[in-house]
Amino acid sequence: MQTQRTTSLNRRQFLRTAGQSATALAAVSAVAPSILSAPSPNRTIGVGCIGIGTRGGDLMNAVVAVPGVKVVAVCDVYEAHRQKGLRRSRNPDAKAYEDYRELLADPRVDAVIIATPDHWHCQMVLDAVKAGKDIYCEKGFARTLDEAKRMRDALKRSDVVFQLGHQARQATCALRAKEIIASGALGPITLVRTGRFKPCSPEHPNWRWYGYYSQWKRPDPEQVRKAVNWDLWLGPAPKIPWNERHFWHWRCYYAYGTGYAGDLLSHEMDFVQYLLGHGIPDTCVCAGLLALQKDDREVPDTWVAAYQFEKLGRTVTFEGSMNSNDRQPVTLCGRDATLRFDSIAHDVTRFDIIPAPHNRNANLPKGYERGKTPPQPNHMVDWIQCIRTRGAPKCSTDEAFIETATFLMSLKSQWEKRMVRWDPAREEIV
């Protein structure tokens, strides 16, 4: 069961490990380098943080703990979040911006963290590429396949170091699991089970928090309205009058995100991709239902998807509910053995291996052995290291496109109530 408390602990664990291991647009174009070179290992990397809300605040805490990094600029359309960003920057010289394009034009900024609602990801990534800034972007990568293609193509034409925010890839036990899977010890893997359950009380429905995952006290609505640049928050989304619930609870509305698909399923399916590297599925069937949380939200609270990899003979299932305290740890079912992790993707710390009755392999590992695999840098450190070496982070551009195509298959299937298929030649969901 993933409670609100365990979510907070996992965020804190992520942060703790960090220390261990128009005029504006013209200005952006003017400062964009044609070729990015590797920064000196001793040079401080200046980071600008765009979006200082729930997740953005956590990512700030993570990056300021990385040696050789300084947060030099923060940006948010909400005054309270800008002030939070300045406090968390640990830099009295950090500058606050309301418009991200002004931050991109700041010559002190070498790299940006984008943690805005999803509807802004595409334009911000494209503008950051034009500005020559390295990028860490929260998942989901994009809201549409067209956006994902534009972002991927722009990134691949550039020398920008890009990392998508799937921190499950930092787990040392996952790297060891990859090694065991690659050895063939499990035999052909025909079934993978994943899931994400988020139990909540009736008075505290999921995605209805105010500024952080466990914060339910509603700030004064009139004060918030005065402190938010609403037109800038909407950006590419449909123009509507100020809507407090859309501002705070944007995950509940399709104009700004993709609901269960891009928020929760994407985490699990990206982790499976990290382990198996099988790419975009051939088909998907998905059902979603708004079962209990019947406020004005548009997105379902229950989400069940089945993906097929036909040539591999493999099925991957995802079950999700916001109305149950069940749990589904990531489980890979092979012909000769099953590998079962202890939790959901970004909480994994160990795994067990259960041999099939016919398996007589005396050398089959029993599970995760600590110390056998070198510790891995956390997701933020991995990105910063790659900025210095110009290497590819663990969740780079190609992996981001796979993530998006995969979760959008479930969305299209659920919306159209039919099986969908990936057309690799056209790069379309049909």
pLDDT tens string 22-74: 333 333 333 333 334 455 667 899 999 999 999 999 999 999 999 999 999 99
pLDDT of residue 22: 36
Q: Which two tokens stand for residue 110?
A: 């070498």
Q: What is the pTM of this model?
A: 0.91
What's the average model confidence in pLDDT over 234-262? 98
DSSP H or E run through 306: strand 302-309
pLDDT of residue 419: 98
pLDDT at 10 exceeding the cut of 80: no
> Within a 10 A sphere around the Cβ of 339, how many other Cβ atoms?
24
What's the average model confidence in pLDDT over 244-268? 98
Is residue 372 within 8 Å of residue 31, measured between CB atoms?
no
Q: What is the DSSP string of 322-383?
A: SS-------EEEESSEEEEESSSGGG---EEEEE-TT---TT---B--TTSSPPPPPHHHHH
What's the average model confidence in pLDDT over 239-252? 98
DSSP H or E run through 384: helix 379-389
> Within a 10 A sphere around the Cβ of 407, how many other Cβ atoms?
30
Q: What is the phi/psi pair of residue 348, to 5°? A: -60, 140
Question: What is the rounded CA–CA span in Å between residue 410 and residue 405?
Answer: 9
pLDDT of residue 18: 43
pLDDT of residue 21: 40
In percent, the amount of the chain with pLDDT more than 90 equals 88
Domain-wise residue ranges, the chain:
4-168, 169-203+257-373+398-429
CA 77 to chain centre: 21
pLDDT of residue 214: 86
pLDDT of residue 133: 98
pLDDT tens string 79-117: 999 999 999 999 999 999 999 999 999 999 999 999 999
**Terminal CA-to-CA distance of the chain, rounded, Å?**
35
pLDDT tens string 286-333: 999 999 999 999 999 999 999 999 999 999 999 999 999 999 999 999
- Length in residues, the chain: 430
**Fold category of 169-203+257-373+398-429 in CATH:** Dihydrodipicolinate Reductase; domain 2 (3.30.360)
- The chain-wide mean pLDDT, for the chain, equals 92
200 vs 164, more confident: 164
Please name which of 409, 378, 230 lies closest in space to residue 309, comparing C-alpha atoms.
409
CA angle, corner 280, sides to 329 and 346, nearest 5? 30
Please name which of 118, 90, 117, 115 lies closest in space to residue 103, comparing C-alpha atoms.
115
What's the average model confidence in pLDDT over 178-183? 97
pLDDT at 159 exceeding the cut of 80: yes
What's the average model confidence in pLDDT over 412-430? 98
Is residue 231 within 8 Å of residue 73, measured between CB atoms?
no
Do β-strands 69-75 and 95-97 pair in parallel, antiparallel, or remain unpaired?
parallel
pLDDT of residue 404: 98
pLDDT of residue 35: 34
Whose structure tokens read 């365990």? 6
Topology alike, domains 4-168 and 169-203+257-373+398-429: no
Which one of 3.30.43.10, 3.40.50.970, 3.40.50.720, 3.40.1190.20 gives the CATH number of domain 4-168?
3.40.50.720
